[in-house]
């Protein structure tokens, strides 16, 4: 159950207080605790851009002993494999971000256990594993005015390039920019198979 009602107005949780909201120009709703992504009327979510987006699960956790272990135990007992993860915390709460091999099953299992869960879209970018590899990607994005909201590494079995998971303020523009720069973006299916 969402802690915030969905609204037709774009809003985002602001970091000063757990429930302080502010409006911005983002055409989609992005609430940190329940992170619901809704397309505005008429926006096409199909096609090539959609294939390049990876589904990520965000889980709101109280910052207390055993909560992280509980989540990973539920997933392990049900055959859900973690492909990539990130944990951001404060004194009272954390956001556990996961990419798993079966997103729908993981979301259903965790919601049934009472966790506040949301799915959001990120992209998995192949980055040359050498000095300056990440700097080159970030420079390309900066040149188009694209903000990286967060990113984290993706472990991969003996490949020449690294994979980084990015969340952007404008994911469509980021995909177009990276494709123009000939940067390889992995599909959701490729990431889940890793």
Which of 1-5, 138-142, 148-152 shows the lowest mean pLDDT across its residues? Answer: 1-5
Output the pLDDT for position 75: 97
Q: The pTM is what?
A: 0.65
Percentage of the residues of the chain whose pLDDT score is greater than 90? 46
pLDDT for residue 24 is more than 80: no
Interval 90-142: pLDDT, tens: 778 899 999 999 999 999 999 999 999 999 999 999 888 889 999 999 999 99
Q: What is the 3-state secondary structure (H, E, C) of the chain?
A: CCCCCCCCCCEEECCCCCCCEEECCCCCCECCCCCCCCCCCCCCCCCHHHHCCEEEEEEEEECCCCHHHHHHHHHHHCCCCEEEEEEEECCCEEEEEEEECCHHHHHHHHHHCCCEEEEEEEEEEEEECCCCHHHHHHHHHHHCCCCEEEEEEECCCCCCEEEEEEEECCHHHHHHHHHHCCCCEECHHHHHHC
Indicate the pLDDT class of residue 35, thresholds 50, 70 and 90: very low
Output the pLDDT for position 192: 76
> Going from the N-terminus, what domains does the chain have, and what CATH number goes with each?
48-120 (3.30.2130.10), 123-193 (3.30.70.260)
Interval 49-100: pLDDT, tens: 667 899 999 999 988 888 999 999 999 999 999 989 999 887 788 999 999 9
pLDDT for residue 18 is more than 50: no
């Amino acid at each position: 159950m969402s802690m915030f009602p969905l609204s037709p107005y774009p809003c985002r949780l602001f970091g000063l207080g757990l429930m302080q909201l502010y409006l911005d120009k983002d055409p989609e709703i992005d609430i940190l605790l329940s992170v619901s992504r809704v397309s505005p009327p008429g926006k096409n979510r199909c096609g090539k851009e959609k294939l390049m987006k990876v589904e990520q699960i965000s889980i709101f956790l109280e910052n207390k002993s055993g909560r992280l272990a509980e989540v990973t135990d539920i997933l392990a007992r049900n055959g859900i494999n973690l492909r990539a993860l990130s944990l951001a915390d404060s004194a009272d709460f954390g956001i556990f971000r996961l990419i798993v091999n079966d997103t729908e099953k993981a979301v259903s299992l965790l919601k049934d256990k009472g966790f506040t869960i949301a799915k959001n879209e990120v992209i998995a970018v192949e980055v040359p594993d050498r000095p300056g590899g990440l700097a080159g990607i970030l420079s390309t994005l900066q040149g188009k005015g694209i903000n990286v909201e967060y990113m984290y590494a993706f472990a991969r079995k003996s490949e020449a390039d690294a994979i980084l998971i990015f969340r952007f303020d404008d994911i469509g523009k980021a995909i177009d920019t990276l494709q123009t720069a000939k940067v390889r973006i992995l599909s959701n299916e490729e990431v889940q198979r890793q």
